[in-house]
Chain A
Amino acid sequence: MSTERSPALRRAGLVALELCVPVLLLVGYGLWSHRALDFYFPPLGEIAEVFGRLWLFDRVPGDLLPSLVRMLAGYALSVVLGVGAGLLLGLSRLLRTAAEPVVEFLRALPAPALIPFALLLFGAGDGAKVFVIVLGAVWPILLNTIDGVRGVDAQQLDMARAYRVPFAARVLHIVLPAASPRIFAGMRTSLAIAIILMVVSEMVASSNGLGYFVLESQRSFAIPEMWTGIILLGVLGYALNWVFLRVERRALFWHRGARGRLGTAGPPGRRGRAARPRSAPSPEVTDA
């Protein structure tokens, strides 16, 4: 690519380039589905029409909102528990050692396998779903918090101790902020997991929610409806991820600044990468 053109033109070109394939895909699918008349792959127009009918905003309070509430409740609980326990385990070697095998086991246990257990424990209500979400989403946050806490610069803690800053304030003002880049990295992974588990738990035992809707549509062969559900879930995942990245960017601006990566308004791609410190696939590179 030429580097002589003006930045504005460059960016426009880049956007065009990036939109090219999605547009082609959509058009291709539209043409194909129109001609093929495959029962499982309805034409785009039909999906769009059903989508508008269902989700603007007929079924929003009945299916979308309950799903969102469950997911956000589970996610919030995961963050609180993960960060809290992570601080504890990160600060105490004894607790960390004692908890290690149990944590390793629970982390490796596929969370959906616990759905039957959750149903016994909480019944078929929201409690079981939130429980499953927490049991799946808490681990990345917990482990990253532990790592973040253990990675806190000893000199910062020494400084605070030399200035007689009490323990609780050291944890709140030094350990927590210093670990926050790692915590955010874990939270991002957990966000995706929380969405997945929301859907799964609703598929297994629920009478409303997006997961339930998609599965029921499929079982009653309401194919366009099923597609709208899948698309809505995709949009939801994308949107939540987008919001998360904005929040993270804002919360960690000091981190990027301290690493000399603030205000690099240059073109994306290699040039941006070259400016980055070379490092292993480490958490530090997750927020470039």
Chain B
Amino acid sequence: MGADTAPAVPAGAALVSGRAGAPARGGRAGPVRARARRWRELGVRVGGVLAVLAAFELCSRLGVLPRQWFPPVSEIYVELFRLAFGRPLWVEIGRTLSGWAIGLGLATLLAVPAGVLLGSSRIAYHLSRTVIEFFRPVPSVALIPLAVLVYGTGLDMKVFLIVFVTFWPVLMQTIYGVQDVDPVAKDTARCYGLPPTAVFRLITLPSAAPYIATGLRLSSSVALVLAVTAELVAGSPGLGQAIVVAQSNALITRMYALIIVTGLVGWGLNSAFQAVEGRLLRWHPSQRQEVAR
């Protein structure tokens, strides 16, 4: 059993959550104090962000970093708001996200059935193991030139890359999830005479779901990386290309604004996945565990 057939680590949910100090023994004073603490934490967070921004602002204004290449954060934010009220920014975001969505969707459609198959059949698993183990660590970006040759620089190329790169995490998580179904639950169902399709629908799929969800969340951020990379390197339209264009036109402030937008998009997708995952799978121990992280 190759050690990396195991599910990937959900690379960090919230940094601060759960295990929130001692159990509230304070009786009636509990909720009040909890609320006070939440406000204090919010303050600390805002403070952290402001400190970092202020540091950059100072570096630029005091000339620690050359101002022409590293404009003050305040100017970048002004540019960011200007962009946000115009149409082009949203078009670029849409282009990047459409590649992301189509690629991720296709990969899921391919990987989940394949994972269920490989997870339920030992022979199929062993047959495909070597291929999987070989292709999985292949740095996906190495395929960019090939993808450009075959698909040009449009959306197809982006989608191909994203499908290739996101297929593996979803596949592995699905295989692992299906293999990890509680055999007792399966046997119980069989004893009660449930047909195999019902066993699959009622037992296998729900218990594999948390694994698949984690695979999707991991894949989502990788897909975004690939989309942006393809735009940067191969010049397919989207945020990545917009960044390059801004840079080559010496619109440095805009370039930074776009980088921040890219980060916000990634952060938004990440948060959305975490929220959906948390809501759908509240019953599963993995959620409780993530809360404890």
A interface residues (Cβ-Cβ under 8 A, vs B): 1, 14, 17-22, 25, 40, 89, 93-94, 96-117, 119-121, 136, 139-140, 143-144, 146-147, 150, 182, 185-186, 188-189, 192, 195-196, 199-200, 203-204, 210-211, 214-215, 217-219, 223, 226-227, 229-230, 233-234, 236-238, 240-241, 245, 248-249, 268-270, 272-274, 278-283, 285-288
Residues in B lying within 8 Å of A, measured CB to CB: 1-4, 6-12, 14-16, 19, 41, 44-49, 51-52, 65, 69-70, 122-123, 125-131, 133-135, 137-146, 148-150, 173, 176-177, 179-180, 182-183, 210-211, 214, 221, 224-225, 227-229, 232-233, 239-240, 243-244, 247, 252, 255-256, 258-259, 262-264, 266-267, 269-270, 284-286, 289, 293
Main DSSP-derived SS at the B contact region? helix
CB distance from A37 to the nearest CB of B (A): 16
B41 A97 Cβ-Cβ under 8 A:
yes
Q: Across the interface, which residues of A come within 8 angstroms of B10, CB to CB? A: 281
Q: Complex formed: what's the CA distance from A211 to B140 in Å?
A: 12
A237 contacts which chain B residues (CB < 8 A)? 137-139
Instruction: Establish whether residues B130 and A19, one from each chain, have CB atoms under 8 Å apart when the complex forms.
Output: yes
Report whether over half of chain A's contact residues are helix, strand or loop; otherwise say mixed.
helix
Whether B270 contacts A108 by the Cβ 8 Å rule is yes
Residues of the A chain whose Cβ atoms lie less than 8 Å from the Cβ of B14: 100, 104
Distance (Å) between the CB of A67 and the closest chain B CB? Answer: 11
Residues from chain B with Cβ under 8 Å of A229 in the complex: 142
Q: Which 9 pairs show the lowest CB-CB distances between chains A and B?
A: A143-B12, A98-B48, A109-B263, A218-B145, A108-B266, A280-B286, A108-B267, A233-B142, A237-B137
Per the bound structure, the CA–CA distance linking A230 and B16 in Å amounts to 41
Nearest-neighbour CB distance to chain B for A57, whole angstroms, equals 20
Q: Contact: B3 with A113, CB < 8 Å?
A: no
Contact residues in B for A1 (Cβ distance below 8 Å): 122-123
Asked whether, in the complex, the Cβ of A199 is within 8 Å of the Cβ of B142, the reply is yes
Hey, which chain A residues are within 8 Å of B138, CB to CB? 233-234, 237-238
Name which residue of chain A comes closest to B287, CB basis: A280
What are the residues of chain A within 8 A of B2 when measuring CB–CB? 245
Q: Which residues of A contact B140 (CB under 8 A)?
A: 196
Asked if A102 and B243 sit within 8 Å, CB to CB, the answer is no
Given that A116-B247, A238-B138 are contacting pairs, would A215 and B233 also be in contact in the complex, using a CB cutoff of 8 Å?
A: yes
Q: Is the CB of A113 within 8 A of B243?
A: yes
B44 to chain A, nearest CB (A): 4
- Chain B residues contacting A203 (CB-CB under 8 Å) are 141, 144, 233
Measured CB to CB, the closest approach of chain B to A140, in angstroms, equals: 5
Given A93-B16, A112-B240, A249-B3: A140 touches B267 (CB 8 Å cut-off): no
**CB closest chain-B residue, reference A98:** B48
Task: Establish whether residues B240 and A113, one from each chain, have CB atoms under 8 Å apart when the complex forms.
Answer: yes
- Complex Cα distance A32/B188, Å? 49
Contacts A108-B267, A283-B9 known; A273 to B262 CB distance under 8 Å?
A: no
